[in-house]
A and B are shown apart, each in its own frame.
Chain A
Amino acid sequence: MPDRLDDLLHQLPMETMSADLPARIQLRLQADRSMQRRVQLGLDAVLAVLVISGLLALGPSLAGAAGWLTGGSVESSMAWFSALGSAPAPAVWQTLTGAVDWVQTLSDGFGVTGLLGLVLVAVPLFTWLRRLMPEEVPGSDAGVEWAGAMIEEGAGA
């Protein structure tokens, strides 16, 4: 219930803030933003170097894998489908054995350098991808706890 003390508290004298405070805050924000941009640019440059290094390391391994991958043809696919129709079990078994051989060949061909290359490419790509995603769901964090309290308490102030 409002009373005289309430009224006085609403009108308490207050030293005024420096007139240029908003401008100073805006300048600090500007400096902070340009610093953020520089950091971002530097990070992007480092990530780009990592991707290039990764691709160079992956190169020989990828060349081998590409050779294996392009080995197939329409004729061999047709032959596989007709084999699947006439004798499904051996065709499936042969396919599985082939897949295991392919994985073996790939991992042998990749070696440490190939794996390192994969990591060097994957980490920057993941970082860039993450940047595209929203950082937080708005209104779900401690910064807006008041919103939760408002909901909990309803209109009963």
Chain B
Amino acid sequence: MTTDPDEQDLVRRAVEGDARAFDRLVEIHTPRLYRLVRRAAPDGAEAEAVVQEAWLRAWKNRRRCAPNRPFFPWLASIAMNVARDGWRKRRPLDFADLGDVVEEIPAAGISAEGRLEAAEARERLAKYVNELRPEWRMILGLRYDGELEYREIAGVLGIPLNTVRTHLRRARAALRARMEEDDAGPAG
């Protein structure tokens, strides 16, 4: 992910305490931040609360942001910390259990998807994503909604790169399995 010079300037000014520059960053990044948080949050209200709290923490800790690096992964790491703080209270997230083990899961074919209309397939997939473990949803959100690279996700969540790969592989395998199962079983 490259750093846009205009954004770099905005971030630099925001880090120095320029409230207008920071407010501009809020306008630019809130939709994307919301998308990735919403993917893991149980509902829209909680996602909005997490996003708000993340921006407040970002403002308070703005001096810790490095203006020469992409801003969004830093912001995402704050949002994920806010989200984890909340979700940990309900059920501990389980990133550590996989360690560094990289498991080879065979990529199952998704021939069933070929027969579905794209929109319908996406709707079903979104439903299945919502049924995944929160930590998998979080990683999927960072990868597909936040459009972060693997190493950025590893940094944001503070877990090894191989663990990110394994989580993504397992999440995708679970989704493929659900899609196939759905396709094989009776309609509905």
User: Residues on A close to B: CB < 8 A?
Assistant: 3-6, 8-15, 17-18, 21-22, 24-26, 28-30, 32-33, 134-136, 138-150, 153, 155-157
Contacts and interface: CB of A to CB of B under 8 A. Distances in A.
Given A143-B74, A153-B154, A9 B34 contact: no
Interface of B: 15, 19, 22-23, 26-27, 30-31, 34-35, 38-39, 44, 47-48, 51-52, 55-56, 59, 61, 63-67, 69, 73-74, 77-78, 107, 110, 113-114, 118, 121-123, 125-126, 129, 140, 143-145, 149-152, 154-156, 158, 161, 172, 175-176, 179
A147 B69 contact: yes
B151 A149 contact: yes
A40 to B, nearest CB: 12
B59 A138 contact: no
Contacts of A156: 151, 161
Contacts, number: 154
Contacts of B69: 139, 144, 147
Given A25-B26, A145-B158, A9 B38 contact: no
B59 A32 contact: yes
B158 to A, nearest CB: 5
A4 B23 contact: no
B67 A138 contact: yes
Contacts of B26: 22, 25-26, 29
Given A8-B121, A12-B126, A21-B51, A148 B155 contact: yes
